[in-house]
């Protein structure tokens, strides 16, 4: 899928399913602040212009699938489509200004250190400046990094408690991992190849 098609798909999902007050203002702010041009990471999955919007759509698709499978297994509704769209599309909003391109002939990113407030926390804070979030959405976005979250490594129980209380948080974490390690593996392998070539020059 081309970058233009991915952006169009993101906007279509957003506009169709996210109807709460402030949503349109949030989307306009994202466009003004180059969300659709941002990478998803510094040097791993989606480390390219438009990588963030591609990753966000992939996470939404994976989360929608997981939510549907849980509905079949439990034979009862899980989370509505608006919650799935909010969580999947906006979980990495924190990356909107997280990286700057310092490459010349190719894209090389470095961290900006802008608004250092934590990964999931920053996404929640940015969203709440425009529209409300449910408690489940807050927990899911805040803890979507799972055990990779820096604050989960200190031995506290907040991550475990969030996963016990909120199955959306578990599913968003799984969707994030599936998107990064399955759907975007081709980009990751290409980046590893580039890194290896540069490593060879430095030896």
* Mean pLDDT, range 40-51, rounded to an integer: 80
Report H helices in the chain: 3-17, 23-32, 51-74, 81-90, 119-128, 135-142, 158-165, 167-178, 185-202
Give residue 202's pLDDT: 32
Tell me which of 167 and 146 has the higher pLDDT: 167
How far is the C-alpha of 65 from the C-alpha of 131, rounded, in Å? 25
Rg (CA), the chain: 17
In 3D, which of 61, 48, 10, 25 has the Cα closest to residue 188? Answer: 48
Give the torsion sign (CA, 124, 126, 128, 130). negative
> Tens digit of pLDDT for each residue in 98-133?
778 666 666 666 766 777 667 899 999 999 999 999
For the segment 181-189, the average pLDDT, to the nearest whole number, is 74
The residues, any chain, with a CB within 8 Å of residue 81's CB and separated by 6 or more, are 17, 64
Tokens of 15: 């506009």
- What is the spatial distance between Cα 41 and Cα 198, in angstroms, rounded to a whole number? 19
Answer yes or no: is pLDDT of 193 > 80: no
Give pLDDT, residue 116.
Answer: 67
How many angstroms separate the CA atoms of 57 and 9, rounded?
8
Q: What pLDDT score was predicted for residue 82? A: 98
Q: Kindly state the greatest CA–CA separation across the chain.
A: 58
**Residue 85: pLDDT over 90:** yes
Give pLDDT tens digits for 57-77: 999 999 999 999 999 998 777
Looking at 5-9, 34-38, 44-48, 75-79, which range is the least confident one? 44-48
Domain boundaries in the chain?
A: 3-195
């Amino acid at each position: 899928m081309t970058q233009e098609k991915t952006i169009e798909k993101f906007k279509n999902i957003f506009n169709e399913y996210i109807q709460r007050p402030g949503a349109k203002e949030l989307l306009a702010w994202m466009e003004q602040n180059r969300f659709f041009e941002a990478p998803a990471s510094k040097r791993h999955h989606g480390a390219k212009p438009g990588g963030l919007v591609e990753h966000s759509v992939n996470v939404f698709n994976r989360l929608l699938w997981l939510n549907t499978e849980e509905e079949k297994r439990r034979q009862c509704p899980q989370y509505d489509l608006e919650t799935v769209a909010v969580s999947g599309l906006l979980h990495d909003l924190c990356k909107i200004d997280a990286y700057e391109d310092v490459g010349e002939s190719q894209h090389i990113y470095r961290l900006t250190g802008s608004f250092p407030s934590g990964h999931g926390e920053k996404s929640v804070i940015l969203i709440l400046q425009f529209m409300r979030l449910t408690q489940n959405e807050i927990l899911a976005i805040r803890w979507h990094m799972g055990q990779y979250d820096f604050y989960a490594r200190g031995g506290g129980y907040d991550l475990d408690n969030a996963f016990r209380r909120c199955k959306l948080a578990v599913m968003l974490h799984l969707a994030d991992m599936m998107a990064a390690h399955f759907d975007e593996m081709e980009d990751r392998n290409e980046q590893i190849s580039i890194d290896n070539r540069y490593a060879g020059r430095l030896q």
